[in-house]
Amino acid sequence: MTTRPTDELITLRDWLRYAVSQFNAAGLHFGHGCDNAYDEAVWLILHTLHLPHDRLEPFLDARLTAAERLAVHHVLQQRIARRLPAAYLTNQAWLGEFSFYVDERVIVPRSYFANLLEEEFAPWIESPAQVRSALDLCTGSGCLAILMALTFPDAEVDAVDLSTDALAVAQRNIADYGLAAQVRPIHSDLFGALAGRRYDLIVSNPPYVTQAAMDALPQEYRHEPALALAAGADGLDIVRRILVEAATHLQPGGLLAVEVGHNRDLVETAFPELPLTWIDTAGGEEKIFIIQREQLPAAQAAAT
C-alpha cells in the first residue's frame, strides 16, 4: 500500500519541513511577498490553518487533524504544480501592516511606495494636510490609493486603471477599508478620462517591464496580467506618456512620483534633460523618481 504524506506528516513542524523540501526540489521562484522557500511555506501553512501569520513557535508541535493535513497538502501541491504565487492561493497580499484582497485579475502588490507613504512622503511633503487631492495612476488592486487615503485623510483620492477587472478588485479593497467616500475608482487609459482634474500628488506604479525581461519571466509571474507588467522594448512606453501629460493634471507645486523598479539607467538615458530626484526607501534604493509640476516639459512650455 502506498504511503502518503498526509499519513506520515503529523505536526506543523513536520509539514513545514516537508514544504520547504518540496519547494526547493521543485525549483519554485519567489518574489510575491516572500523571497525564500521557508518564509513562503510558513505563510501558506499558517494561512491554511487559520493561525496568526506572525505566530509560528507556539504551534510547531501541534498535531494536525486529518482534514487539516489534507488542506495543507492541497495548497502546497497547488503552489508546486501550478506555480501559482502564494498570494493568489490565499487571496491576500501585504504592504507593510496592510492586507489587501488579490486574485489573478491584478498583479500582486509589491510597491516601494508603501515605505514612502508610511513616512508621509517626507520631506517632499511638509504636512499631510497639504494634500487635498491625489491620484493613483495604474491602481491595480487599489492598494496605493488606499494607503494614500490613510496617509492623507483630507484628500480626495482617484484610483485609475485601464482594466475593468482590476477596478473590480480595487473596489472590493476600498470597501473593505471603508473608504468609498474618499477613494473613487475610475476607468481610464492613464489621464484620458480625467479632463479638468488637477492633483496635489500623483503617484504611479505603472507597467515598466522591458520586452527582454518579459520573455525571461519565471512561470509564477506569468499568472499576473501582462497588461500590468509589459511596457515595450525599453519598459518606458507608459512612463513616457505619464511625463508628457502629467503637468496638465497637477496643481501648481504639485508632485509626480513614479516607480520604475531597476530601470533608472533607462529612464535617465531616455530623459537626460529632466531634473529627476531619485528616492531611497527602506525597501529599495533609486526605484522611484519625483519631479515637480514646474519641472515637467509641458509646464515649462506653457510658461514661456
Which residues in the chain show pLDDT less than 50? Answer: 301-304
Report the candidate in 130, 200, 119 with the shortest Cα–Cα distance to residue 158.
200
Tell me: the pLDDT tens digits for 91-133? 999 998 999 999 999 999 988 899 999 999 999 999 999 999 9
Tell me: the pLDDT tens digits for 225-243? 999 999 999 999 999 999 9
Quick one: which H or E segment has residue 202? Answer: strand 199-204
The CA–CA distances, whole Å, from 31 to 24, 28, 236, 282, 290 equal: 14, 10, 22, 17, 25
pLDDT score recorded for residue 111? 86
Class of domain 104-303: alpha beta
**Angle, CA of 151, 153 and 159, to the nearest 5°:** 75
C-alpha cell, 271: 530623459
Domain ranges for the chain, please list them. Answer: 5-90, 104-303
pLDDT score recorded for residue 96? 87
C-alpha cell, 251: 496643481
Q: Which stretches within 82-140 are classed as H helix?
A: 86-90, 113-118
| Radius of gyration over every alpha carbon of the chain, rounded to an integer in angstroms | 21
Rounded (to 5) percent helix, strand, coil in the chain: 40, 20, 40
pLDDT score recorded for residue 303? 43
The residue type at 230: A
Q: Which stretches within the chain are classed as H helix?
A: 5-8, 12-26, 37-48, 66-81, 86-90, 113-118, 143-151, 164-176, 211-215, 237-245, 264-270, 297-303
